[in-house]
């Protein structure tokens, strides 16, 4: 980390007594003090996944303004479930964020399964209640910022048509994958994917605010209150992000636990707790509504399909350094692809009945 940049940020933010906390994929973080309060100072890295990061004012402002919006919305939904103070500065010479210190990282290795389920349940409730807070933005998708328009969704147009086109892409991806890799050919998977895309078409009403980055490293515990940090917000079909959470905790993190990106977390050693988190999340998010559960499972299936499809495409051509860090070398990707075929078949078989039943229950909630 550039010490001159750190000192400049300390002076500009008017904070003191910095103590290094650690680093994520994109930022270094320090615990600091200001006016008697404990805060966290984050400074973007110069090198990310082996590549130099070029300064882009609109991208950085969009990222930080989206974080500010998400924190505000979460705290309206569940007070204290996100840092209640957040500010940022963006310029070519110096960019940083400053937010309330919100506790210690959750430790999946030291939890009981019951604690993992309860943590997941709390997260599910936070996600669902946050979706109910009006975001007030135009457009949908990931968030962009311009000086003229401020913060808005990056995509304009008919969001229902966009969802339909995305669904068609999912089905096309499965056809390509199953034609190239016989281990993915399965009638139950094919039918379940069709049911999932039909269910999302019936269930989607309007784009809502949700969070794609559900990594355990972005979850803190402050006493008994779980607190979300460093989100990746978007405005779209919210069940998609709930399904993303389920895929991450039931499959993705465990499958990629031997990669450079995730190795330090030793996710394979706490697989039961990761799956417990997923069980709790679904219970908290759905509040026992079987149709909502089916909608989330349908999105989980689509997310798992795309996990496999991205692995398949990484095997063709030269493997970029960022992909190697995230996914491992081609030998590991090839081995993982075979296991993902089994995961896809197992999930499809377990949820097909629920998807069909939800489609037979009439109008969406």
Residue-wise pLDDT tens digits, 45-81 = 988 888 889 999 999 999 999 999 999 999 999 999 9
| 342: exposed, middle or buried (Cβ count in 10 Å: 0-12, 13-18, 19+) | exposed
Cα–Cα nearest to 363, from 204, 203, 207, 237:
203
| Integer Cα distance of 213 and 304 in angstroms | 16
In the prediction, which pLDDT does 362 show?
44
- Going from the C-alpha of 297 to that of each of 206, 305, 324, the distances in angstroms are 19, 12, 29
Mean pLDDT of 124-139: 97
What percent of the chain has a predicted confidence (pLDDT) above 70?
98
Cα–Cα nearest to 281, from 116, 78, 104:
116
The conformational region for residue 40 under phi > 0 = left, psi -120 to 50 = alpha, else beta, is beta
Q: Which comes out higher in pLDDT, residue 23 or 161?
A: 161
| Integer Cα distance of 239 and 194 in angstroms | 17
- Residue written as tokens 């969001």? 159
Q: What is the mean pLDDT of the chain?
A: 95
Quote the tokens at residue 121: 């349940």
- With cut-offs at 50, 70 and 90, classify the pLDDT of residue 23: confident
- Is residue 32 over pLDDT 70? yes
In the prediction, which pLDDT does 263 show?
94
Mean pLDDT of 335-363: 92
In the prediction, which pLDDT does 49 show?
84
In the prediction, which pLDDT does 363 show?
41
- Is residue 234 over pLDDT 90? yes
Q: What domains are there in the chain, each with its CATH number?
A: 3-101 (3.30.200.20), 107-135+158-218+236-359 (no CATH)
| Integer Cα distance of 297 and 292 in angstroms | 9
Residue 184 CB: number of other CB atoms within 10 A?
A: 25
pTM of the predicted model, to two decimals? Answer: 0.94
Least confident range from 39-43, 161-165, 202-206, 218-222: namely: 218-222
| Integer Cα distance of 33 and 80 in angstroms | 19
Cα–Cα nearest to 91, from 51, 47, 46, 58:
58
- Residue written as tokens 């016989």? 182
| 294: exposed, middle or buried (Cβ count in 10 Å: 0-12, 13-18, 19+) | buried
In the prediction, which pLDDT does 122 show?
97
- With cut-offs at 50, 70 and 90, classify the pLDDT of residue 3: confident
- Is residue 1 over pLDDT 70? no
| Integer Cα distance of 1 and 27 in angstroms | 10
């Amino acid at each position: 980390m550039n010490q001159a940049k750190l000192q400049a940020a300390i002076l500009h933010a008017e904070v003191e007594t910095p103590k290094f906390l650690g680093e994520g994929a994109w930022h270094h973080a320090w615990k600091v003090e200001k006016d008697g309060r404990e805060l966290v100072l984050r400074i973007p890295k110069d090198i990310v996944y082996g590549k130099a990061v070029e300064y882009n004012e609109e991208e950085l402002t969009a990222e930080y303004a989206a974080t500010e919006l998400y924190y505000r919305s979460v705290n309206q939904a569940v007070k204290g479930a996100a840092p209640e103070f957040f500010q940022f500065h963006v310029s070519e010479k110096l960019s940083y964020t400053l937010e309330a210190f919100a506790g210690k990282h959750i430790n999946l290795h030291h939890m009981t399964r019951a604690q993992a389920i309860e943590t997941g349940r709390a997260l599910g409730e936070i996600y669902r209640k946050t979706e109910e807070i009006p975001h007030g933005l135009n457009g949908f998708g990931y968030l962009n910022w311009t000086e003229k328009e401020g913060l808005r969704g990056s995509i304009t147009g008919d969001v229902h048509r966009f969802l339909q086109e995305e669904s068609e892409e999912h089905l096309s991806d499965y056809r390509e994958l199953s034609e190239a890799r016989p281990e993915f050919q399965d009638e139950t998977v094919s039918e379940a994917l069709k049911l999932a895309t039909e269910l999302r078409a019936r269930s989607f009403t309007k784009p809502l605010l949700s969070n794609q980055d559900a990594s355990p490293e972005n979850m803190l515990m402050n006493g008994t209150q779980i607190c979300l940090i460093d989100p990746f917000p978007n405005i779209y079909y919210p069940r998609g992000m709930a399904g993303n959470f389920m895929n991450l905790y039931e499959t993705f993190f465990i499958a990629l636990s031997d990669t450079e990106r995730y190795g330090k977390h030793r996710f394979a050693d706490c697989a039961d707790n990761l799956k417990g988190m997923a069980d709790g999340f679904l219970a908290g998010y759905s509040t026992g509504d079987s149709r909502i559960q089916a909608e989330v499972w349908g999105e989980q299936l689509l997310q798992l399909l795309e996990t496999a499809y991205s692995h398949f495409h990484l095997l063709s051509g030269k493997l970029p350094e960022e992909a190697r860090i995230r996914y491992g070398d081609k030998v590991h990707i090839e081995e993982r692809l075979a296991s993902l075929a089994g995961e896809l078949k197992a999930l499809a078989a377990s949820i097909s009945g629920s998807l069909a039943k939800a489609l037979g229950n009439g109008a969406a909630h």
